[in-house]
Amino acid sequence: MRRGTNLPRMGDFNQSVILEAIRRSVEGLSRIELVEATGLSAQTVTNITRRLLDEGLIIEAGRTINGPGKPRVTLRLVAESRFSVGVHLDPAVITFVLLDMAGAIVRRRIVRVAEQDPRRVIETMALTIDALLDDADIDRRRVAGVGVAAPGPLDAERGTVIDPPKLQGWHRVALREVLAEATGLAVIVEKDTTAAAVGEVWTATSPVDDSFLFVYLGTGIGASLVREGEAVRGSSQNFGEVGHIIVDPEGPPCLCGARGCVEVVCTPQAIVERAVDAGVFDGDHAGGDAQTVEERFTRLSERAGAGDPDALAVLRRAAADLAVLVCVLTNVLDVDRVVLGGPFWARVSDVYLEDIPGILDARSATRSVRTIPVAGTVVGDDVGAVGAGCVVLDSALTPRASDLYLDR
Amino acid sequence: MRRGTNLPRMGDFNQSVILEAIRRSVEGLSRIELVEATGLSAQTVTNITRRLLDEGLIIEAGRTINGPGKPRVTLRLVAESRFSVGVHLDPAVITFVLLDMAGAIVRRRIVRVAEQDPRRVIETMALTIDALLDDADIDRRRVAGVGVAAPGPLDAERGTVIDPPKLQGWHRVALREVLAEATGLAVIVEKDTTAAAVGEVWTATSPVDDSFLFVYLGTGIGASLVREGEAVRGSSQNFGEVGHIIVDPEGPPCLCGARGCVEVVCTPQAIVERAVDAGVFDGDHAGGDAQTVEERFTRLSERAGAGDPDALAVLRRAAADLAVLVCVLTNVLDVDRVVLGGPFWARVSDVYLEDIPGILDARSATRSVRTIPVAGTVVGDDVGAVGAGCVVLDSALTPRASDLYLDR
């Protein structure tokens, strides 16, 4: 049965609504403005802002005289009252960020992973997080937790990664549990794609009920969805596994038995292989490990940018293939707009943003009703780590209607 | 900004929660049981059930003596206190149902559409609805409205169908407005696929927070999604356009430029064409209009059921193709289970239910974490019309956390 709600639930929810309104306002808000923004009564706003002031989450920051009557007191977020740590676990490199409550990066570290033994990797993660907090001189009681963005699929119930590409020996490692024990902090493990979408919501100035599809260009290609400001995670928190969607019926065969899947056509590795075949690297046939792929992907995009027609043709072909995936997903999910991002995004953004919107416009099922805008992420290359930190802030601070339901 | 909530909103929400709990209980519930089921206080339950009794939505139906203390009064839904009309607009036939508040069919009518002029068709719809209500002798004030299930995509804002297959001349017809004027009832236009999923939720005895993918086999193939008991409609209410997802890279060419799309492989028309090519109809090459396709589809499934190996091979091939679509959708959407249904479902259910679960199990991205069960609809062939009626009931009666937000 569905659960009802009651007064204490309502109070907590309204407190989150007010904190969110203040956080999202760049200049701060007065109590009168909060009444207008949230629809709550003046009395409720006064009571709740008093509580937020007492907890040190907001501060009174100046008075504005605006016509006759009492001057208005501006309430502003105390960004450094709460923090979170975001970790992006990627095959070759682990990125760490310390975020304040506004989602701004306070500290950042990169660790290259030569070691593949999961226990040692998690140990390194814990030591790096310690160092990050010590360096910033932060009271751990003000750290809401650690978010880890990892490649999917995940076993969310156990907080484990199942089979991260290129991280051998990571079968069913209890990442959440072991890292929580090693750091003494609460840990959330989230798919990198979902984390990226949460980062996009948390740091953007878009409306609070923003809805978009996020297509993530990492070692693999993934998708995530934000609906009315909330990431859609799916039943097992594995939303957005798109690797075996067929985008090119003439494409190369895939291990799954089909051909032209996203996995063998749209990933950096697949694009680099096409570039090798097209002679972009002048007969250089070195191995396909993560670092070589990344270096070659960078060279490919630099050559395309410098006007090399072969390199450009490879990227335009990749853009067209990705556009088919974007069409499949927008047709199924029916979203307002599309955001492209992830660690490999910046290197292809010019070519992709030139080609993908037109293809989407021509093929969208709702093309006669509306155009679906396509844009690049506002977060940048660190979207995985920043997103992971934002997942922690979002989980602790964002109001959710579902929080109103009474417990069982 | 996100809006807060207040006491009157909370009261309305809790009233919906209690009505839903009573509606979903087969035997009715006592006030004590309602307290347990909803988490609400005894006082709140007493106040709200008083209101529901006054409005005639529930009734006191007998007392149970259960140990010492006061006997418990069982509260039951008055199913005939509210009604709705569901209409399924399909190329060859329009189905009408009158539902009571429990979602049970009170009256049913079928109208074959020879006439293609949209004004005339809508006129026929209005006359049939009138006849249905007169025949059942129902006070129109107890009719919550009319739901129309139509093939997508729709222009939801204008309440129009955009380009229904085989219904020429229906470009941008203001179906909602014209039908509302002709009947004097509130009209909701919904995609047939979404309506079917709502029908599945409303009439099933599954948990209130049920989540599933519904794959709809109609003249076209569509998909819809229910997440925690609520249909996911998408930003323009066009969720689930799957016609151009490639399921067979070796398949026939599609008008979209690709090959092996759902539209040219999985639809009844495509399956019948394959059966013709396979000689199932003994050289009978008659036209491809909606009625011929439907008759042949029936014959194909009858022959497969009777053991004709060619007919069976065609259906098994179609099941394998549809399984690829189901995999794509479950991998993207991450659902607990899959429901197959729609007007063409019953004819292929045996073959499809034999083959699809195994293929899904072998290809699912989360196969190492869990199995995703596949089942047929509980609603039957009328799922479009029943679903359309349920959309009206659902919109009027189901509690939504989002209803708690204060208006702007």
Of A234, A251, A365, the CB nearest to B333: A234
Residue B257 lies inside a defined structural domain of this protein: yes
- CA–CA distance, B169 with B173 (Å, rounded to integer): 9
A152 vs B17: CB contact, 8 Å cut-off?
A: no
Taking the C-alpha atoms of residue B203 and residue B171, their distance in angstroms, rounded to an integer, is 33
* Tokens read off for A11: 């109070």
* Strand A143-150 with A83-89, pairing: parallel
B321 to chain A, any CB pair closer than 8 A? The answer is no
| Cβ-based contacts of A10 with chain B (< 8 Å) | 5-7, 10
Phi, psi of B89 (to 5 degrees): -90, 105
Collect all residues of chain B within an 8 Å Cβ-Cβ radius of residue A237. Answer: 334
Q: Which residue has the higher pLDDT, B301 or A210?
A: B301
Same domain membership, residue A193 and residue A73: no
pLDDT tens-digit map of B16-75: 899 989 998 878 999 999 999 999 999 999 999 999 999 999 999 988 777 777 788 999
Residue A240 has φ and ψ, to the nearest 5°, of 90, 30
Residue A159 falls inside a structural domain: yes
The pTM of the full predicted model, rounded to 2 decimals, is 0.92
User: How far is residue B225's CA from residue B232's CA, in Å, rounded to a whole number?
Assistant: 6
Residue A145 is which amino acid? G
Q: Are A79 and A138 within 8 A, CB to CB?
A: no
Substitution target in B235, B259, B404 with the highest count of A β-carbons within 10 Å is B235
Q: In what order do the strands lie in the sheet with B187-191?
A: B105-112, B93-100, B83-89, B143-150, B187-191
Q: Say which range, A161-170, B26-35, B39-48, B258-267, has the weakest mean pLDDT.
A: A161-170
Residues B12 and B28 in one domain: yes
Q: What is the CATH number of the domain that holds B49?
A: 1.10.10.10
Residue B178: domain span: 82-201+385-397
Confidence of residue A285 (pLDDT cuts 50, 70, 90): low
Residue A292 shares a structural domain with residue A370: yes
Is the Cβ pair B334, A236 closer than 8 Å?
yes
Same domain for A231 and A370, yes or no, is: yes
Are A273 and A327 part of one and the same domain?
Answer: yes
Q: In terms of domains, do A11 and A56 share one?
A: yes
Residue A1 inside a domain? The answer is: no
Res B172 pLDDT > 90: no
Long-range pairs, A354-361, Cβ under 8 A, ≥24: A354/A319, A355/A316, A355/A319, A355/A320, A355/A323, A356/A319, A356/A322, A356/A323, A356/A326, A359/A320, A359/A323, A359/A324, A359/A326, A359/A327, A360/A323, A360/A326, A360/A327, A360/A330
Shared-domain flag, residues B327 and B280: yes
For residue A112, the SS3 value is strand
Are residues B366 and B225 located together in one domain of the fold? yes
Last residue of a domain, one of A77, A111, A130: A77
Last residue of a domain, one of A50, A77, A104: A77
Q: Residue A404 domain-assigned?
A: no
Report chain A residues whose CB lies below 8 A from the CB of B223. Answer: 332
Q: Which residue of B has its CA nearest to A371?
A: B236
Q: Give me the CATH number covering residue A234.
A: 3.30.420.40
Same domain? B317 vs B222? yes
pLDDT number for residue B286: 64
Mean of per-residue pLDDT scores for chain B: 90
Average pLDDT over every residue of A233-256: 95
B404 located within any domain: no
Whether the CB of A209 is below 8 Å from some CB of chain B: the reply is yes
Do the Cβ atoms of B242 and A208 come within 8 Å? Answer: no
ipTM of this predicted structure: 0.91
> What confidence score (pLDDT) does residue B291 get?
82
Least confident of A24-28, A312-316, B386-390: A24-28
Give contacts of A227 with chain B, Cβ < 8 Å.
Answer: 232
Q: Do B369 and B391 belong to one domain? A: no
Chain B, 142 to 181: residues with Cβ < 8 Å from chain A are 152-153, 155, 162-163
Do the chains contact at A249 and B256, CB–CB below 8 Å? no
Q: Is residue A406 part of a domain?
A: no
- Count of domains forming chain B: 3
Backbone angle region of B321, left / alpha / beta, with phi > 0 → left and psi within -120 to 50 → alpha: alpha
Residues constituting chain A: 408
SS3 content of chain A, % helix, strand, coil (to 5): 45, 20, 35
B19, B163: one domain: no
Q: Is A389 inside any structural domain?
A: yes
- Facing B329 at nearest CB: one of A2, A332, A405: A332
* Closest chain B residue by Cα to residue A325: B245
What is the nearest CA distance from A166 to chain B, expressed in angstroms?
Answer: 17
- Cβ–Cβ gap B3/A405 under 8 Å: no
Q: Which of A194, A213, A235 to mutate to test the interface with B (most CBs of B within 10 A)?
A: A235
Q: How far B25 CA lies from chain A's nearest CA (Å)?
A: 9
Best CA proximity match to B191, nearest among B158, B239, B235, B120: B239
* Same-domain status, B362 and B247: yes
A4 touches chain B (CB under 8 A): yes
> Is 70 exceeded by the pLDDT of residue A166?
no
User: Does the beta-carbon distance from A258 to B6 stay under 8 Å?
Assistant: no
Out of B48, B77, B106, a domain closes at B77
Q: Residue B164 has what pLDDT? A: 62
What distance in Å separates the CA atoms of residue A94 and residue A317, rounded to the nearest whole number? 30
Which pLDDT tens digit goes with each residue over B110-137?
Answer: 998 776 788 888 999 999 999 999 999 9
Does residue B1 belong to any structural domain of this protein? no
B317 touches chain A (CB under 8 A): no
For an interface test with B, which of A12, A332, A370, A406 has the most B Cβ atoms less than 10 Å from its Cβ?
Answer: A332
A305 pLDDT exceeds 90? yes
